[in-house]
Amino acid sequence: MNVNQSAPPLPPFGQSQPVYPGYHQSSYGGQPGSTAPTTPSGAYNGPVPGYQQTPPPGVSRAPPSSEAPPASTAQAPCGQAAYGQFGQGDVQNGPSSTVQMQRFPGSQPFGSVPLAPVVSQPTVLQPYGPPPTSAQVTTQLAGMQISGAVAPALPPVGLGYGPPTSLASASGSFPNSGLYGSYPQGQAPPLSQAQGHLGAQPPQRSAPPQASSFTSPASGGPRMPSMTGPILSGQGFGGPSLSQPNHVSSPPPQALPPGTQMTGPPGPPPPMHSSQQPGYQLQQNGSFGPGRGPQPNYGSPYPGAPTFGSQPGPPQPLPPKRLDPDAIPSPIQVIEDDRNNRGSEPFVTGARGQVPPLVTTNFLVKDQGNASPRYIRCTSYNIPCTSDMAKQAQVPLAAVIKPLARLPPEEASPYVVDHGESGPLRCNRCKAYMCPFMQFVEGGRRFQCCFCSCINDVPPQYFQHLDHTGKRVDAYDRPELSLGSYEFLATVDYCKNNKFPSPPAFIFMIDVSYNAIRSGLVRLLCEELKSLIDFLPREGGAEESAIRVGFVTYNKVLHFYNVKSSLAQPQMMVVSDVADMFVPLLDGFLVNVSESRAVITSLLDQIPEMFADTRETETVFAPVIQAGMEALKAAECAGKLFLFHTSLPIAEAPGKLKNRDDRKLINTDKEKTLFQPQTGAYQTLAKECVAQGCCVDLFLFPNQYVDVATLSVVPQLTGGSVYKYACFQVENDQERFLSDLRRDVQKVVGFDAVMRVRTSTGIRAVDFFGAFYMSNTTDVELAGLDGDKTVTVEFKHDDRLNEESGALLQCALLYTSCAGQRRLRIHNLALNCCTQLADLYRNCETDTLINYMAKFAYRGVLNSPVKTVRDTLITQCAQILACYRKNCASPSSAGQLILPECMKLLPVYLNCVLKSDVLQPGAEVTTDDRAYVRQLVTSMDVAETNVFFYPRLLPLTKSPIESATEPPAVRASEERLSNGDIYLLENGLNLFLWVGASVQQGVVQSLFSVSSFSQITSGLSVLPVLDNPLSKKVRGLIDSLRAQRSRYMKLIVVKQEDKLEMLFKHFLVEDKSLSGGASYVDFLCHMHKEIRQLLS
């Protein structure tokens, strides 16, 4: 396959290294090593050894896994008689089925269960909310600084903040609040798309001044009249009064007398409520050491800005004070400003290095030569020219790529280009694909590669004349010459074994052990599948899906089903020799849905009955995946396994696990083992799956520890998804499970994919994060890739870049579509390069930076103590900000915390990452929860990590009921909650409805149909359907939030002061957390101190 094919040892491109150290290609599929010559070429097909799947001759696997229905008893070493009983004939035909059944209790012969008609339609997903409006590109960037106006006042050193050793110090003790128990565990990660929230924000507020500087401690209101510190040129200080003060002085400003409210001038939205929530005060002594007691009140000359001890007045030795939360950068404000400034015009991708609107802004994209930000987002759109600069800044250079991202209906899917038998046109040397940046020369007879500068001949059939500007006259007729994203039809050279692929298959593999039956899962699932199989993904206008389906059930043994259309009843085949898995039947296992509908329906009706009385509690796991993979191999196709599993696989079999959960390891050097798989067997299995294009989606229904860290290895390495529904009960969880299942089964998937990222000379991709497998250092192999998954790629310099030519990325994804068509999807992106660090800082995107940093940290916990990982993040953040301060901000007092405009939210967001469950778990967060979240975040896109780490909190009764838009969010802090209001909080996985204790009775009645607050059921997960405007609005809003996320968020109603409230407070991320995580204010102060240490 050619995506990988790199040319012979040609030098300068990063990509073409011939040798892949570190990975043995040979180890595939249990082949004895060494078959694989180290050719630089890639994974697929002919010349490519690495990918071959058929075991080399002489391999020891007994039943040649592929083909050959092991009908012969001889081969089946099973100790059980079961298998041996089937003669070929029995297996494949004839109604005889009873023989096989003996293996499980409770089973009954397939009788004459009436064929149930196919029922209900699954709901159709609606991926996108209302059409985005559009955005206008403004370049707002400029250095924003939290500069400490208060400079003088600040005792140079951390004023009063004890030398916080590091945030980590704050960890440690977990007050145990037992409430975590109900951690809504399963909630899945939102794979959603950047699509913003519909909701327009109130148009107020003008754009932020370009650079803002923010004094740190001081809080005062926004715009202080007299800033002491020098102000960056270009930063309008007095400028448009931003709603959000940009100038914050970092060392904590003086304390406000308790209860004092900063009602600065047009400051940020005033805390909605003040007095009774102790929230803020409590935090002040946070993690950073002593000294933050209540402060005397420093009278300030500015009425609205009480703080600034330092201002004009004589500097007084300030006792430590706390920052005014309204004076520090607010995520809400930044999001709102971006929506207002960029939400109304389309983002046109013509120009190089443009920073797109934020992921929280709803905008349309016009592709004019660069890939849409829905496909690629970068940490910076302006890359330092030299590696020295890059090292100095410490800003990671990374791209978050979502190759198959779903687009809103207003935007066209990539065009498919067919270059006929010759296949896509590529550079002979670096193998980059034709793209708008290639330069045609010599009258159009040749083209110079924009990645490696190689001059290539233009094949005669592709020749075209150039216009007076040197552009081909047909440039606008050809997507590959004018667009950032497009597809090529792949030729047979791009296919495994030089054969066009068969359509993929889906195999449903259902745990029928005691727990699965008892919880009602099996019955629910079988009922659902009867209709869901009518909604398998299909291509374009195809009438029916090309995907074939198969069914397996299992506990300690596996049961395969023959559902061939010619059968009157399905037949079951039991394989009890799980140690050496093979597929007992070929014909009739994978079938076309419409042809075999009657048999399938009959099977799904019978499964719950057959196992109804089972006593079997033990399960196997690895053999199930092995079986599915072997079935695909035998059918010579790629596909997906949907596994529905309930327990730790303790039955004797390969991949058997033991319970090794041990919370005592938390905060020790051995904590990392909790995240590591307990056996290498699953990696080996995953490799085989990848080679076969077998993607695994895992639905877990655990009642206790199941070792998610180990069970998720195969889904993770095959590009699959994991869903978790702890303590599953049909009544409580069916909606969430069915919703996730429908979406998962219906979503478009690319199979058997390989992704390669090429770059222009000077930088290259060096590291990758996501759900995939790599057998060399450049090719990202994805057994499956859906429209929700991202791959994050980090780049490093290997040469000097040039400002004039900029830097180019080309992501090529070779995959098999749902209909079995082999295609290449290409995304191109051109970035600017700079010799001034200020340009880097002006073109950064914090949300993407956080996405990268979270993934980096979450991978780090596999190998390093969690404290080390946290410290590394803090240090990196401090270095990034210190470098800006030193090189880009104008000289100013050390007391000023100066943040770049584009990164002013870096501290608050990073703090959210630091106190997330993976890096700083609360007492009730289980080991499985942590492993689960860790795994989810790995493939999240930027919009998902954004809301996951900083949840959205929406007040419900503040805005007029008639208003169709989402209410404006408020900051995630208890201080922002009014006890007379109701709020929705969501983070893509969890959804809470918080009810204040003093909410009007009318509101309570309208929403809950009860007469008082005390009668509301805490923990309620469904709101009654009532015919009044408020009820409709709130339920509508909940539906709309769910539609924006890729996993169903189960609602939990939380009453103020109720026990469950602790669970909710966990998500108020600006506050100090129970597990010891710092509040935003404390963290900002800590960050300031770290920066000052670096600068001194």
- Shortest Cβ 450–Zn ion spacing (Å): 8
- Site string (854-883) toward Zn ion, x via CB under 5 A: ------------------------------
Distance of alpha carbon 459 from alpha carbon 446, whole angstroms:
8
- Shortest Cβ 8–Zn ion spacing (Å): 13
Decide whether 128 or 433 has the Cβ nearer to Zn ion.
433
- Mark the segment that binds Zn ion (CB under 5 A) among 409-417, 421-429, 546-554, 559-567: 421-429
- Shortest Cβ 435–Zn ion spacing (Å): 11
Distances (CA, A) of 14 to 204, 558, 834, 898: 48, 47, 21, 36
* Residue 711 near Zn ion by CB under 5 A: no
Decide whether 607 or 830 has the Cβ nearer to Zn ion.
830
- Shortest Cβ 1093–Zn ion spacing (Å): 46
Amino acid identity at 1006: S
Nearest to 119 by CA among 536, 523, 598, 529: 529
Decide whether 428 or 872 has the Cβ nearer to Zn ion.
428
- Shortest Cβ 452–Zn ion spacing (Å): 3
Decide whether 15 or 987 has the Cβ nearer to Zn ion.
15
- Write the CB contacts of 914 (distance below 8 Å, at least 6 apart in sequence): 167, 870, 873, 874, 920, 1077, 1078, 1083
Decide whether 322 or 429 has the Cβ nearer to Zn ion.
429
Decide whether 449 or 844 has the Cβ nearer to Zn ion.
449
Nearest to 182 by CA among 1018, 936, 1023: 1018
Per the CB < 8 A criterion, the answer to whether 176 and 1048 are in contact is: no
Three-class DSSP category at 700: strand
Distance of alpha carbon 748 from alpha carbon 764, whole angstroms:
30
- Shortest Cβ 480–Zn ion spacing (Å): 15
Distance of alpha carbon 706 from alpha carbon 658, whole angstroms:
9
CB count in 10 Å sphere of residue 815: 28
Decide whether 113 or 454 has the Cβ nearer to Zn ion.
454
Query: How do 398-401 and 791-797 pair as beta strands?
Result: antiparallel
Distances (CA, A) of 724 to 740, 989, 1019: 10, 11, 19
Phi-psi group of 691: left, alpha or beta (phi > 0 → left; psi -120 to 50 → alpha; rest → beta): alpha
- Shortest Cβ 807–Zn ion spacing (Å): 14
Two tokens at 728?
């599953």
Distance of alpha carbon 479 from alpha carbon 484, whole angstroms:
8
- Shortest Cβ 775–Zn ion spacing (Å): 24
- Mark the segment that binds Zn ion (CB under 5 A) among 114-122, 422-430, 470-478, 579-587: 422-430
Three-class DSSP category at 399: strand
Nearest to 319 by CA among 383, 255, 260: 255
- Shortest Cβ 454–Zn ion spacing (Å): 5
- Shortest Cβ 121–Zn ion spacing (Å): 50
Decide whether 24 or 446 has the Cβ nearer to Zn ion.
446
- Shortest Cβ 1053–Zn ion spacing (Å): 59
Restricting to residues 201-230, which ones interact with Zn ion according to CB under 5 A?
A: none
Per the CB < 8 A criterion, the answer to whether 970 and 994 are in contact is: no
Number of residues that bind Zn ion (CB under 5 A): 8
Q: Of these, 405, 427, 558, 782, which contacts Zn ion (CB under 5 A)?
A: 427
Distance of alpha carbon 271 from alpha carbon 560, whole angstroms:
61
Distances (CA, A) of 534 to 118, 528, 539, 590, 771: 9, 11, 14, 15, 28
DSSP code string of 227-264: --S---TT--SSSS--SS----BSS--PPPPTT-----
Any alpha helices (H) in 437-589, and if so which ranges?
Answer: 479-482, 514-518, 521-532
- Site string (559-598) toward Zn ion, x via CB under 5 A: ----------------------------------------
- Shortest Cβ 811–Zn ion spacing (Å): 15
Decide whether 454 or 1062 has the Cβ nearer to Zn ion.
454
Per the CB < 8 A criterion, the answer to whether 229 and 151 are in contact is: yes
Distances (CA, A) of 129 to 23, 198, 944, 1000: 43, 6, 16, 31
- Go through 456-485 and write b for each residue having 16 or more CB atoms within 10 A of its CB, e for each that does not: bebeeebebebeeeebbeebeebbbbbbbb
- Site string (375-414) toward Zn ion, x via CB under 5 A: ----------------------------------------
- Site string (642-661) toward Zn ion, x via CB under 5 A: --------------------
- Shortest Cβ 426–Zn ion spacing (Å): 8
Restricting to residues 86-125, which ones interact with Zn ion according to CB under 5 A?
A: none
- Mark the segment that binds Zn ion (CB under 5 A) among 129-137, 328-336, 427-435, 742-750: 427-435
Decide whether 101 or 454 has the Cβ nearer to Zn ion.
454
Distance of alpha carbon 169 from alpha carbon 1077, whole angstroms:
9
Nearest to 723 by CA among 740, 704, 703: 740
Decide whether 445 or 663 has the Cβ nearer to Zn ion.
445
Q: How many residues does the chain have?
A: 1096
DSSP code string of 261-316: ----TT-SPPPS--TT-THHHHHTT-SS-S----------SBTTB---TTSSSPP-
- The secondary element (H helix, E strand) that includes residue 1029 is helix 1029-1044
Decide whether 429 or 548 has the Cβ nearer to Zn ion.
429
CB count in 10 Å sphere of residue 196: 24
Decide whether 11 or 259 has the Cβ nearer to Zn ion.
11
- Mark the segment that binds Zn ion (CB under 5 A) among 177-185, 220-228, 348-356, 425-433: 425-433
Torsion of CA 816, 818, 819, 820, to 10 degrees: 20
The DSSP bridge partners found for residue 485 are 827
- Shortest Cβ 867–Zn ion spacing (Å): 45
- Mark the segment that binds Zn ion (CB under 5 A) among 237-245, 252-260, 428-436, 810-818: 428-436
Q: Of these, 405, 430, 629, 763, which contacts Zn ion (CB under 5 A)?
A: 430
- Shortest Cβ 493–Zn ion spacing (Å): 18
Decide whether 760 or 1056 has the Cβ nearer to Zn ion.
760
- Shortest Cβ 447–Zn ion spacing (Å): 10
- Shortest Cβ 758–Zn ion spacing (Å): 8
Decide whether 447 or 994 has the Cβ nearer to Zn ion.
447
Decide whether 357 or 436 has the Cβ nearer to Zn ion.
436
Decide whether 427 or 657 has the Cβ nearer to Zn ion.
427
- Shortest Cβ 759–Zn ion spacing (Å): 11
Two tokens at 469?
């500007």
Tell me 455's DSSP state: E
- Site string (433-472) toward Zn ion, x via CB under 5 A: ----------------x-xx-x------------------
Decide whether 449 or 970 has the Cβ nearer to Zn ion.
449
Binding site for Zn ion (CB under 5 A): 427, 429-430, 432, 449, 451-452, 454
